[in-house]
Chain A
Amino acid sequence: MSMAMDMTVSNNRDTGVVSVKDKLAQQITRERSTRRRRTINVAIMRFALLAALLVPWQLGVEYGLINPLFFSSPLAIFNFLVRELGGGTIWPHVLVTVREALLGFLIGAAAGVAAGILRMQFPLFGDVTNPFLTILNVLPRVALAPMFVLWFGIGEGSKIALSVSLVFFILMLSTEAGIKSLDRELIVTQRALGATRTQLFWKVMLPGAVPAMFSGMRLGVVYSLLAVVVGEMIASQMGLGQRIAFYAASFQGDGLLGTILILAAIGLLFNVVVVNAEAKLMHWRLHDDD
């Protein structure tokens, strides 16, 4: 009983000595180590999941349970990637696909943003163009691919055109959504502060629509890659899409899946670039992360 009393007293003295700041520092250190442990655990579990997918696949092929003609095998794909990327013939195809996707994205995004802005700034223009753009937008764009080949040839032009036809609408619609969803209060405040129409546009509407434009761009890069790959699969002499069509037709599963992996890497790279640009430009809203 008396011992318990002593404990309480000394505990109280302790909390008095350890200041709030020190406690906070301890807490932060504790939280940081918990977080680090979690990061390591997540990495281990991800690796385990990957192994759980790849090992049975490889073993299945080796013991004749899985037909490698249709499913290839992890090792075969790995060997394909090492062979092709380390001085093989795949690089010119990668270059063509990346170039098409980038050009298509840039042209489509620039035109889409411009169209979105014009349609918002000039409602008459918006109203007149509405039905035409709606029809074009609901149209499955892949249906246009043969026509683009007719117009722009079997080379890169037709793939870029297909990409532009997709990216344009994505960016136009997200730009419009960004401008529409802008807080009315901001516009009224700036008007009252003496902003002209032009100043309102450059200082409020455009920066205010940037977040929406970025979500459009994140979607846009993915769709641009999709468009050029589909275009290449339909009719092309170069590009990863053409390779995919070729490997599929000649039953080379390792090449098929290896090329898909390369495409995934390109898609990831595009995404990282956009996300980083977004983080740079919108540090004002991301402050609570750091």
Chain B
Amino acid sequence: MTRLASEKTAAADAATRTTAGICIDSLGHAFPTKDGGAMLALDNVSFEVPNGQFLAVVGASGCGKTTILNMAAGLIRPVSGSVKVGGEEVVKPLRDTGYMFARDGLLPWRSALKNVEVGLEHRGVPKEQRRTRALHMLDVVGLSGFGDSYPAQLSQGMRQRVAIARTLAINPGTLLMDEPFAALDAQTKIALQGEFLKIWEKDRKTVMFVTHDLAEAVSMADRVLVLTSRPGRIHADITIDLPRPRDPGEIRFDKHYLHLLDGVWQSLKEAEARAG
């Protein structure tokens, strides 16, 4: 089923497994409620994202998708179970993980270029190198010439591009993405999906991508995980065997794509119906 298993020898496979992408093991989480009780958000969720796989996670609002990402990012600790990234248990934000949100979170007092540089600054990369890398990343996302602009001077789509450049600048081995294109209009969204896929298809990082947009999930990912409503459990695990490179703008009329999309949609409906 996985691309890795079929392509690699047993020895290489073992080596990959020790530096496995993301490994979620019997994750459980609850949040304290106002009246002193606890609200179960995640219930015994286990799955793995092999190195180099693009996984999309879908599920009803409030089913715990962001919570899983936050744990993988090391921003919160799970109540039970564990999250490993690259074979390492995550207890704090890892230097090799990039995390993108729907909101760009750009620092308003920094120019676009300085915003792209910020992650490299945190890693102590020398100034010259930082600048060269940031300029290159701005170019990759189609914003060369906007380095000196401040976030307030950029459109929302441009700001999200800067955020993508900022995340990619640190060249993370693992990418966590929480509805990164949700705040964009339809055209910009498809354009950015395409650009992101193009960049991703070059070096295939491990990606965990949360979205409410099923078309986005199916057109971009290798595999879609469907979660049940609160508390989140895994309802379905669907492989998306569409050829690459893909163009999210073109694929919309592909028959097999439409078939897969329908499957994910049915599955999500079941998952939501089953909650309660």
Q: Which of the residues B105, B110, B111 comes within 8 Å of A185, measured between beta carbons?
A: B105
Task: Assess the B107–A193 pair: CB atoms within 8 A.
Answer: no
Interface residues of B in 133-164 (CB under 8 A from A): 150, 152-153
Task: Assess the B101–A185 pair: CB atoms within 8 A.
Answer: yes
If A185-B101, A186-B107, A204-B107 touch, does A284 touch B119 (CB 8 Å cutoff)?
Answer: no
Interface set of A (CB-CB < 8 Å, partner B)? 185-186, 188-196, 199, 203-204, 207-208, 210, 282, 284-285, 287-288
Kindly list chain B residues whose C-beta atoms are within 8 Å of the C-beta of A287.
150, 152-153
For residue B170, CB closer than 8 A to chain A, the reply is yes
A221→B240 CA distance, assembly (Å): 65
If A282-B109, A284-B150, A287-B152 touch, does A190 touch B118 (CB 8 Å cutoff)?
Answer: yes
What are 9 pairs between A and B in contact, CB < 8 Å? Answer: A186-B105, A188-B75, A188-B101, A192-B99, A193-B99, A194-B93, A199-B122, A203-B118, A287-B153
For residue B223, CB closer than 8 A to chain A, the reply is no
Task: Assess the B122–A193 pair: CB atoms within 8 A.
Answer: yes
Kindly list chain B residues whose C-beta atoms are within 8 Å of the C-beta of A210.
109
Interface set of B (CB-CB < 8 Å, partner A)? 73, 75, 93-95, 97-99, 101, 103, 105, 107-111, 118-119, 121-123, 150, 152-153, 166-167, 170
Kindly list chain B residues whose C-beta atoms are within 8 Å of the C-beta of A204.
107
Task: Assess the A194–B122 pair: CB atoms within 8 A.
Answer: yes
Kindly list chain B residues whose C-beta atoms are within 8 Å of the C-beta of A185.
101, 103, 105
Task: Assess the A193–B108 pair: CB atoms within 8 A.
Answer: no
Task: List 9 A-B pairs, minimum CB-CB distance, nearest first.
Answer: A189-B105, A192-B99, A193-B119, A194-B122, A284-B150, A284-B109, A195-B122, A185-B105, A194-B95
Task: Assess the B109–A193 pair: CB atoms within 8 A.
Answer: no
By CB atoms of chain A within 10 A, which of B109, B110, B111, B170 has the most? B109
A288→B93 CA distance, assembly (Å): 36
Q: Which of the residues A186, A192, A203, A285 comes within 8 Å of B152, measured between beta carbons?
A: A285
Task: Assess the A285–B93 pair: CB atoms within 8 A.
Answer: no
Write the chain A residue with the least CB distance to B169.
A193
17 further A-B contacts with Cβ under 8 Å, apart from A190-B107, A190-B118, are A185-B103, A186-B105, A186-B107, A190-B105, A191-B75, A192-B73, A192-B93, A192-B98, A192-B99, A193-B93, A193-B118, A194-B94, A195-B122, A199-B121, A199-B122, A207-B107, A282-B109
Kindly list chain A residues whose C-beta atoms are within 8 Å of the C-beta of B121.
199, 203
Q: Which of the residues B93, B107, B108, B109 comes within 8 Å of A191, measured between beta carbons?
A: B93
Task: Assess the A194–B150 pair: CB atoms within 8 A.
Answer: no
Kindly list chain B residues whose C-beta atoms are within 8 Å of the C-beta of A199.
121-122
Write the chain B residue with the least CB distance to A191.
B93
If A185-B105, A203-B121, A285-B108 touch, does A194 touch B170 (CB 8 Å cutoff)?
Answer: yes
User: Within the complex, what minimum Cβ distance (angstroms) separates B159 from chain A?
Assistant: 12
A207→B111 CA distance, assembly (Å): 14
User: Within the complex, what minimum Cβ distance (angstroms) separates B252 from chain A?
Assistant: 32
User: Within the complex, what minimum Cβ distance (angstroms) separates B172 from chain A?
Assistant: 9
Kindly list chain B residues whose C-beta atoms are within 8 Å of the C-beta of A285.
108-109, 152
User: Within the complex, what minimum Cβ distance (angstroms) separates B127 from chain A?
Assistant: 15
If A185-B105, A186-B107, A285-B152 touch, does A194 touch B123 (CB 8 Å cutoff)?
Answer: yes
A208→B106 CA distance, assembly (Å): 12
User: Within the complex, what minimum Cβ distance (angstroms) separates A91 from chain B?
Assistant: 41
A190→B118 CA distance, assembly (Å): 8
Task: Assess the B108–A188 pair: CB atoms within 8 A.
Answer: no
User: Within the complex, what minimum Cβ distance (angstroms) separates B91 from chain A?
Assistant: 13
Write the chain B residue with the least CB distance to A186.
B105
Task: Assess the A193–B152 pair: CB atoms within 8 A.
Answer: no
A227→B50 CA distance, assembly (Å): 67
Kindly list chain A residues whose C-beta atoms are within 8 Å of the C-beta of B101.
185, 188-189
A207→B119 CA distance, assembly (Å): 17
